[in-house]
Structure 1
């Protein structure tokens, strides 16, 4: 049976064909300077010129924020044509943009299949506040961790995002918010009144960043490069559920701020809420935190703690949390649980959350209660999810056959 024969039985529904689905040119976005130089030399750029060309391209991509080679005004026409022929710098497709009543924005972005069988989608969220704007970036399509309270955890892992795809979320957000030179802020957008529209970046979207370490590392080193996007490392936070072997590497090789999705102070409860705890229990996790490079009162670890009614919100839990963190420069973010369809948990009562926070504060730890943002568009913490699923091999062949058959149609 051919793939076309399989098509009629396996996937009879019509599929919208996007040009991005057939993009085969590699992107220059997400390449280190060394890899960018190698890519240019392989396509015929003189080794004597390549350092200058890398500097020019880096500036246009990450300072000016261009997404069309024709906008590289100080690059010769011949080189622009060579770049256009062999590479792309296009932004991902925006499938949907939602704007919350509180100004939070959520983008559903589509990327090529790259082994998943069909194009994949992830969510990226922008949270404006007075004095800063925070972008919540995804690192994987789906997640392997199945944390019991997290909506993303109900979506099986489809694939890792590439460095380009991670970085493209930042580039697209800066485009859409008017945060590059010569770009305008959308009318009515809620953004900081001064400074950058995207001043902070958190790896807290879909996926576990430390299970995609190399791509996350490459993307964050470019995002914090002083000659490009130039985000301060102290304004970039990587959140992990506790992949202990990679925590030290994060501090040594990336140097950004660290956040731990803690959510429980006993191994038996954390085994349920955050199942990776069965592999890396609390004792190992806390040892890794204490050894985090650069740890100090000025570079505290943030511990995220979702408040679940009747589960982890007692004063006894608060006391055990203080004991667990003793000796670690830390801040505890208390997160009111954000409900999602099908969840079995409820958010703690507000009085309970305040009493918990008061106890932590009196013990000497900053313990802000995170204001829920974007709940009405499922953009709040723990609510992100896309419909992307990895296709079975037979379905993938059928889908690809239909794509080929439909390519070129209006």
Structure 2
């Protein structure tokens, strides 16, 4: 029998095998049904496409070959989610490659499954797992304590931001109005905190800050964190006049080392954005678009990431154009925080639901449509009859 059998050909492709424990602990692992489907492709790639003992982890392109209809944006979003949950590990040595050539490891999810099984079945637990569990508990306690301290510190800073000292209230308005006029945007929470810090912690006068900001804006420096670095340097150098400030900018800020440091921070953000969304950010033009969002439009990194997340969720093959439109829409509405984004989305959904309900209520049914008649006034009807005669 030499003819090819279709059923045998299907078997030759292999079967997708997923550990049943993944389904059992899916809720604890924070996995949705869509996650399980994509994980199946990852397990298949690991068992059928990788070379044993030679290949470390699996390439994302191998998953895409196994699941061709899965869009790159959605796959990138899933991989980013698994990485945040600690279910996979990203190979840092491949992060500068194209999206399909990057590698991930599935080892962390097996470690988590092992911990969950050992937790629910103490009789099969071993000493090593007990030691690891104790260490993990201590780390979790330390992490919880750190989060608690960070929360207290954040509340303290928020209180300081909400209640600025009265001597600086007019000065704050002067600096904030100058920044809004120069950038064309209202100041966001990050810039709000920075202005309070420059006025209160650094004891800078409003006129002094306006001169410093003018010199920063001339060099396309708009990031509050970078401006704070410059303000700290001026304070440490005890510079109090315009001539000293100009000398500091020429000899420190304009040096390549300072620019390289800024570019390195921005380059890391660009690479992180590409990893999160699956969009290739290799071209110089793409990097300039990202720089426009951050520097010219003044959006924070978390706002840009939120726009990328919306693009990944709403489109199959979205790109920078979609993200640019989302951010442009927020800019036109003066939306600068994640809370404002959530509020705007809720209002849009309410308006859409109300509009849909109104259209549904005025749309006539088939019976009403058949019985509908047009009313014509008697004198108009007589006039029409006379013209026809």
TM bucket, shorter chain = under 0.3
TM-score normalised by L of structure 1: 0.23
Please identify which structure carries the higher strand content. Answer: 1
The structure showing larger relative contact order (alpha-carbon pairs under 8 Å, at least 6 residues apart) is: 1
Q: TM-score, normalised by structure 2?
A: 0.24
The structure where helix makes up a greater share of residues is: 2
